[in-house]
Amino acid sequence: MKKNLLITGGAGFVGSNLAIFLKKHLPDCRILCLDNLQRRGTRMNIARLKDHGISFIKGDVANPRHLARLGDVGLIIDCAGEPSVLVSHEQPLRALHSNLIGTFHCLELARRCRADFIFLSTSRVYPIAGLEQIPWEELPTRYDWKKDAFGVGHSYEGVTHQFPLQGVRSFYGATKLCSEHLIMEYLDMFQLRGVINRFGIIAGPWQMGKEDQGVVGFWVIRHKYKGSLSYIGYGGTGKQTRDALHIDDVCELILLEINQMDQVSRQLFNVGGGRRNSFSLLELTAMVSSITKVSLPTISVPETRPCDIRIYMADNSFVRASTGWLPQKSLEDIITDTSQWIDAHFSRLAKVVGEG
């Protein structure tokens, strides 16, 4: 691998953590982070990056001139984009530019530099109706799939990368799926190496979670600053179920892919916390309350929003078979690490997350 490594969205939650992790494990690489600094909390990460010897440039992947000035790179890790389903629904042009157009410009840079390409996609590429059709049941604290609910691309353990893609998935999911198709075309047409990871919820320290994106971080933030919580949709019960993956586990997988690029190139992996790290909002509240020793009032909003999903968990069997990777951190680890991070930066974070 060439010595220059570019991380787009590099001042964000995933990008900044990944940059610092890779700098420790690939010390001979020059790591460059590009970010437009539109997400809250990104400016806090610039000092962290510089403290670790990582270069930062303010720029936007949607502007090809900003990428053209970067020079030669050997690997591009595309973490940039608008990650909120609701924001993408309300501002589709913004999502189109940040996600699809941004990825196109990154691919053009990869083509010019003959760079490897790692793409952070999303579980939101799967159609909502298809997920809802998986047989499910209502349990005391969560919705869950039935144990005999086997089908194409799914089982009781979770959804695989082979889940059928026909159907509607949200504008956000559509832009990311289009990016995936574009990436595969570039890899084939220009004989490049690259890999796509469809991540579910990622969480951990330095996530400035919001109600519409970054739910685990948001839940911990609300408990630490003694705010309120809302169970939105599905009758306001808080039983909708997801899985969560620690940012450290994400970083470990990306490093494996960098070191095994010949083996994983042109693969598409479904990646998440899996059933072991699954939770409903109701269960998440109980766990965060237990760890933080704070109990909060909850508000029930019965109406389900557009693009809400009842249940999603990832089946990691293919990525495990291909790379040997499995999540090492538990949901309790995620919550504990996030809580301790907030404690260490309590006053400063209060201004950023709007809780102070």
Q: Is the pTM of this model over 0.75?
A: yes
Measured in degrees and rounded to the nearest 5, phi and psi for residue 10 equal: -75, -10
**Beta pairing, strands 158-159 & 154-155:** antiparallel
∠309-279-338 over CA atoms, to 5°? 110
* Strands (DSSP E) found in the chain: 4-8, 30-35, 55-58, 75-78, 116-122, 136-138, 143-145, 154-155, 158-159, 194-199, 201-203, 229-232, 241-246, 268-271, 278-280, 298-301
Predicted confidence (pLDDT) per residue in 283-321, tens digit: 999 999 999 999 999 999 999 998 999 999 999 999 999
Beta-carbon count within 10 A of 50 CB: 12
Q: How far apart are CA 229 and CA 298, in angstroms?
A: 5
Q: What is the mean pLDDT of residues 325-350?
A: 97
Predicted confidence (pLDDT) per residue in 4-61, tens digit: 999 999 999 999 999 999 999 999 999 999 999 988 889 999 999 999 999 999 999 9
Q: How far apart are CA 244 and CA 241, in angstroms?
A: 10
